[in-house]
Amino acid sequence: MNRPEEPARTYDVVLFGATGFVGVLTAEYLAAHAPEGLRWAIAGRDTAKLERLRERLTGIDPACAVLPLERADSADPASLRELASRTRVVASTVGPYLEYGEGLVAACADAGTDYVDLTGEPEFVDLMYVRHDARARETGARLVHSCGFDSVPHDLGAYFTVRQLPEGVPLRVDGFVRSNAQFSGGTFASALNQFARARQMLAAHQDRRRHQPRLVGRTAYAPTGAPRYAPEVGAWAVPLPTIDPQVVQRSARALERYGPDFRYRHYAAVKSLPVAVGGVAAVSAVFAAAQVPPARRWLGGRLRPGDGPGEARRAKSWFSVRFVGEGGGQRVFTEVSGGDPGYGETAKMLAESAMCLALDELPATAGQVTTVQAMGDALLERLQEAGLTFRVATRR
C-alpha cells in the first residue's frame, strides 16, 4: 500500500454508480480481476438494483455473494461524505458529471479519499480544480478525472511516446484516433450538454488559468490543429474537440520528462476526404442545434442515458491511437490499441486506475492530477498486462 500512514478504512475501492451501463461493466471487471484480499464494494441509490447486480456478479465469482452494498445518492451530500470516509478510493460512473458529480468530489477532497471518474467534460474538470484542488492537497486526496477512453489512451500514449525520445529537448507529438465504436446515450447527453454550455465552458477554463500556477522555465501547449492530410499516418486529420489534449498538456506541465518546450495536437484519422468533411459538418450541425433548447431536447430523446450498444456490437468494436513524436533529431511512431473503447476498455481502464491508486507504490502527489502524473508507469504496466497494446511501430 502506498500510504500506510492513513487511517484504517473499511474498503480499498468503492464503485459508485455501479448499476448504470458502464458501472455494471466495471463491476463485472472487478469481479473477474480484483486480486484476492481487495476490499471492494458497490454503491448507488437503489438498493434493490444493487442486490440484483450482486447476484449477477456472483455468477462471475461466487465470493461476490457477500459483496458489500452501500447506499449513496448524488443528491444526498451526507451519504456521499459517509461513503468517502469509509474507503481509500472511490470510482464514479455517475454522469453527466457537471450535473451529478461535484458532491462526491467535494466529499473525497475533504476526507482525503482518492477519486477517479470517466468524465470527458472540460467545464466540470476546470470547476473541480478551482473549487477542490486546494482542499485535496491539504488532505492528500488524489482527484483523477478522465480515467476511461477519455483520456487514458491519449495521456498514457503521449507519455509512452515521450519516453522513446531524448530528454531535455523540445518535443512535438501528434495523436491520431481511429475507432469503429458506437457511443451511449450518456456519452451523447454529455456532449450535447457541453455544446450547449460553450460560454460557461470558456469561463471555467479562464478561471482555472487564473488559479493554477504559471509554468516557469518550460512551455507545454496543445493548440487546435488545422484539418489536413497527414501523410505520416496516411489519413485525413480532423481536429478533435475533446478533453484529451488538455489532459496531455497538464501532464506535460507537471513532468519535466516532457522537455523544455512541448506541443501536442489531437486528431481523428479519417481515410476518406468526404467522410472527413461529413464528420465536421455533422458535429457543426449538432453544436448549432444544441444552442436551441427545443432542438437540444429532441436530439437528447434520440438516445437516452443508460442506452448503449449490445454485447455483440461491443465485441466487434476496436480503437487505435497512433502517435508521431519528434525531438532531438529523432522521430518515433507509436500506437495504443484495444477493443471496444467506450465500454469494455473504459471499464477496464477505470477499474485498473482505482486498483492502481489503492494497491501500487506511486509518486507522492495530491490534488487534481492526471493519470500520468498520479500513476504513470504503474498504470501503463497494469493496462499492458490487462490486454491493451502500447507499442513502438518504427523509429527514424
142 vs 112: CA distance, rounded Å = 8
pTM over 0.75? The answer is yes
In terms of pLDDT, which residue wins out, 271 or 52? 52
Q: Is the dihedral of CA 185, 182, 381, 54 positive or negative?
A: positive
- CATH tag for 11-148+345-382 (out of 3.40.50.150, 3.40.50.720, 3.40.190.10, 2.60.40.10): 3.40.50.720
Please state the rounded mean pLDDT for residues 282-286: 45
Which cell is 272 given? 476518406
222 vs 211: CA distance, rounded Å = 19
Which cell is 258 given? 516532457
Grouping H, G, I as helix, E, B as strand and the rest as coil, residue 278 is: helix
Which cell is 34 given? 480484483
- What confidence score (pLDDT) does residue 380 get? 98
Task: Break the chain into its structural domains and give their ranges.
Answer: 11-148+345-382, 152-340+388-395
> Quick one: pLDDT band at residue 183, thresholds 50, 70, 90?
low
pLDDT of 207 higher than 50? yes
What torsion, rounded to 10 degrees, do the Cα atoms 354, 360, 366, 369 define?
-60
Contact between 362 and 353 under an 8 Å Cβ cutoff? The reply is no
- What confidence score (pLDDT) does residue 226 get? 86
φ, ψ at 88 (rounded to 5°): -85, -30
pLDDT of 156 higher than 50? yes
For 338, counting Cβ atoms within 10 Å of its Cβ (0-12 exposed, 13-18 middle, 19+ buried), the class is buried
Contact between 184 and 369 under an 8 Å Cβ cutoff? The reply is no
Q: Which neighbouring-strand residues pair with 84?
A: none
Residue 212's CB is within 10 A of a number of other CB atoms, namely 15
Instruction: Tell me the one-letter amino acid at 35.
Output: P
- What confidence score (pLDDT) does residue 316 get? 78
Contact between 366 and 137 under an 8 Å Cβ cutoff? The reply is yes
Give per-residue pLDDT as tens, 357-390.
999 999 999 999 999 999 999 999 999 999 999 9
Q: What is the DSSP letter of 33?
A: H
Q: What would the DSSP string read from start to end of 179-191?
A: E-----HHHHHHH
- What confidence score (pLDDT) does residue 290 get? 43
- What confidence score (pLDDT) does residue 190 get? 59
pLDDT of 298 higher than 70? no
Which cell is 233 given? 499516418
* CATH architecture classification, 152-340+388-395: 2-Layer Sandwich (3.30)
Task: For the chain, give the mean pLDDT.
Answer: 89
φ, ψ at 17 (rounded to 5°): 85, 30
**Nearest CA to 14 among 94, 133, 126, 99?**
94
Q: What is the DSSP letter of 167?
A: S
- What confidence score (pLDDT) does residue 288 get? 44
Give, in degrees to the nearest 5, the angle at Cα 26 between 22 and 32: 145
Which cell is 12 given? 480499498
